[in-house]
Amino acid sequence: MSWDCLIHNALVLTLEPGAAPLGDGYVAVRGGKIAAVGQAAHPAELPPARETLNARGGLILPGLVNTHAHAAMVWFRGLADDLPLQAWLTDVIFPAEAGWLNPDRVYEGTLLAAAEMIRGGTTTVADGYFYETEVRRALAQAGLRAVVAQGVVDFPAPGVPDPRDNLKVAAAFLESGGEAPPDRITSAIFCHSPYTCGEETLKRAKGLTRDRGVPYFIHVAETREEVAQIQRKTGLSPVAYLESLGVLDELTVAVHCVWLSTADEEILARRRVKVSHTPESNLKLAAGVAPIPQLLARGVTVGLGTDGAASNNDLDLFGEMSLAARLHKVWNRDPTLLPAAQVVALATREGARVLGLEERIGTLTPGKEADLIVVELNRPHLTPLYDPYSHLVYAAGAADVQHVMVGGRWLLHHRQLKTLNWAELAPRLKAGSRDLARFCQKLPGRA
Ligand SMILES: [Zn+2]
């Protein structure tokens, strides 16, 4: 019995509940799955492997799970910052999406997002945007694991000029599968929000995803204005309104969840709705602080998300971990909240549960997919080392990620991208961004 790959001389965090870090640790991979996890001072004691990687004292942990992104929005990174949310959306983002974006640009933007995510240790991403067949194609090429969700709104959108076709497009997307490997990429639906989708759209989209047992994503209670708007229209909070439509269940991923009443928190817990926490986006857009400690105390499953790079401005889950850990401490004036080990769990095991993938990823457990990362520890800012969870949350960054594997395949090896050709991609992105800048100069109020 031999292994395909053995990674040894590491400190291993399996992220299995209650498991201690394994010094002199190794992870063995066979057939794209984790074959064994253990401790051995000398790899010669272990069965032979086709490929051996000496981690040189680095940290092996499950790949990070981004539970909410709009990957192709990397095109808009740094294009318009420091604006009020509505001006940002209506003066810049919506016109640029309507007039500039096309399938090729979504594809190329998603490749750029994939390169960034792989470099930062993300192995699974949940994306929600338009032209999602292109997103699926790009993520399949990059080798990432993904839940790719077609965006639905009740107004004209990129690729859906007539909103009456929005669910037809989404249903066709769920059916098609495209070139995506079904074991690695799940197709789903992303209803933008309770204020951009009407009742019928929200309910029918839920029907489509429920029939197929796939996630249903929706931005919920992001801002106070949204809560006031839904209250005026329905007499209910956004969460209570969605509950009244019957769209809240264990396959619903509620993104943001900043402005929740205790009754809303109770509904989310009772319906076993999953929550994607997006602290950087919430801070940058001045949306507010989500009651994450309160949701966790109620047993709600919470994962971390970057949101799009227009409102973050990166796709770096190390940044989200650092911010999530610190934010809830200062907001609640309690430094014991969201301790480092819990935050690392949100970015891995709990993120997998948010996406319904907990049987397959999220912990380093034999039989699960070999989705893992190696973080270099032999660096000044990570020395000395007493607690690896502390370093991951409070001291390490995306640049410390040295190797990334998904399903037994290297996506990053000694910091080299293995599935994407950056030298070939970068000039295309530069040309595209110049074109977008020219387009935006012509927008009203931007000249
Ligand atoms: Zn979002």
pLDDT tens string 289-330 = 999 999 999 999 999 999 999 999 999 999 999 999 999 999
CA distance 405 to 413: 8
> How many angstroms separate the alpha carbon of residue 43 from the centre of ligand 1?
45
> How many angstroms separate the alpha carbon of residue 250 from the centre of ligand 1?
19
CA distance 297 to 28: 36
pTM for this entry: 0.98
> How many angstroms separate the alpha carbon of residue 220 from the centre of ligand 1?
10
> How many angstroms separate the alpha carbon of residue 409 from the centre of ligand 1?
29
> How many angstroms separate the alpha carbon of residue 94 from the centre of ligand 1?
14
> How many angstroms separate the alpha carbon of residue 218 from the centre of ligand 1?
8
CA distance 115 to 120: 9
Which amino acid is residue 427, in one-letter code?
P
Q: What is the pLDDT of residue 139?
A: 97
pLDDT tens-digit series, residues 18-66: 999 999 999 999 999 999 999 998 888 899 999 999 999 999 999 999 9
Q: What is the pLDDT of residue 182?
A: 84
Tokens of 250: 């264990």
> How many angstroms separate the alpha carbon of residue 128 from the centre of ligand 1?
8
Q: What is the pLDDT of residue 87?
A: 84
> How many angstroms separate the alpha carbon of residue 23 from the centre of ligand 1?
39
> How many angstroms separate the alpha carbon of residue 308 from the centre of ligand 1?
6
> How many angstroms separate the alpha carbon of residue 17 from the centre of ligand 1?
29
> How many angstroms separate the alpha carbon of residue 70 from the centre of ligand 1?
6
> How many angstroms separate the alpha carbon of residue 131 from the centre of ligand 1?
16
**What parts of the chain have a pLDDT lower than 50?**
447
Q: Contact at 8 Å (CB) between 71 and 110?
A: yes
Residue 216 has what DSSP assignment? E
pLDDT tens-digit series, residues 92-131: 888 999 899 999 999 999 999 999 999 999 999 999 999 9
Tokens of 191: 């209803």
> How many angstroms separate the alpha carbon of residue 219 from the centre of ligand 1?
6
Q: What is the pLDDT of residue 376?
A: 98
Q: What is the pLDDT of residue 446?
A: 60
Q: Contact at 8 Å (CB) between 256 and 220?
A: yes
